[in-house]
Amino acid sequence: MADDQGDGADKRHSERHPVTLVVEYEGADDLVAGFTENLSTGGSFVNTDHEFEIGTEVRLVLSFPGLLKPITVTGVVRWTRGGAEPAEGEEDERGVGIEFTELPAEEKSRFEALLDRIVARDPDVVTRLIKILVVEDNPHVAKLIRDGLRGSGRRAFGEDLAFNFRTAANGQEALQLLHGSERFDALIIDIYMPILDGKSVIEQVRADPRLGKMPIIAVSAGGERARTFAMDAGADFFLDKPMRLRQVIETMQRLLNLGGTAE
């Protein structure tokens, strides 16, 4: 597990409240598998660059995109693993070993029942999750799309839902993800990219029986020439750069029948 944030940077001896680590999983299955294993072994390793003293009380807030109410468990730091900042491509092994506080039988039973509801995708526990692959060689544009849709999801679409994103910096990376085990609800792709351009990716997606009906939004600053390339290749919509978030939201509503109104 890896933490996204912590609100207990001050590790003074006078600290009376447990440190909180927010642990974000990729999806429901990852949380269920990890949490079930961690409960059975009584603890977990959390990858974090925060420094902890042995014996520090910790509150773990476990979540994933679409979980309505995060799961909270408490524990105590029993060991730490330090080290320098990992080099690019190397796994970050810094973190802490946390022993979970013993759960009463009733509490453990409640957790297990909650996990069963997550597995069953109970709508009272897990929202509808829209998985989107963003293929964009400009990381700032990719971040704009991700942050914009995440921040506007429920407000703009008029229903409980969450967005989960994967990104690729070129068409070759995109095809590797599309042909992998993940399933995506939509593709947002730039037309002009290095290694393999968006037009080629769209053509290959449309020729694939498994992927052929995937909604595709093409984007580019290339004007009418790029628009023609995208639509001829099989894109459903084309948006000129610089895009407005409202345009992206309205296009997603049409393609995925999400309802609601764009602001």
The yes-or-no verdict on residue 15 having pLDDT over 70 is no
Nearest to 65 by CA among 39, 30, 103, 95: 30
pLDDT in tens, 198-252: 999 999 999 999 998 999 999 999 999 999 999 999 999 999 988 887 888 888 8
In degrees, rounded to 5, the angle at the alpha carbon of residue 86 between the alpha carbons of residues 83 and 87 is 145
- pLDDT over 70, % of the chain: 82
Q: How many residues does the chain have?
A: 263
List, in order of start, the domains of the chain with CATH numbers. 3-119 (2.40.10.220), 128-256 (3.40.50.2300)
Looking at residue 9, what is its pLDDT? 43
Task: Look at residue 14 in the predicted model and tell me its pLDDT.
Answer: 45
Q: Measured between alpha carbons, how far is 212 from 191 in angstroms, rounded to an integer?
A: 18
Describe the crossing of helices 105-119 and 28-41 by its angle, rounded to 10 degrees.
160
Point out which residues pair with 63 in neighbouring strands.
24
DSSP 37-104: HHHHHTEEEEE------TT-EEEEEEE-TTBSS-EEEEEEEEEEE--PPPPTTS----EEEEEEPPPP
pLDDT greater at residue 66 or residue 157: 66
Out of 20-29, 39-48, 210-219, 247-256, give the one with best mean pLDDT.
Answer: 210-219
pTM of the model: 0.65
Residues 70-103: pLDDT tens digits? 888 888 999 888 765 545 545 557 888 888 887 7
Burial of 128 (0-12, 13-18, 19+ CB in 10 A): middle
Inter-residue contact 38 to 2 (CB < 8 Å): no
CA dihedral for 22, 28, 34, 35, sign (positive or negative): positive
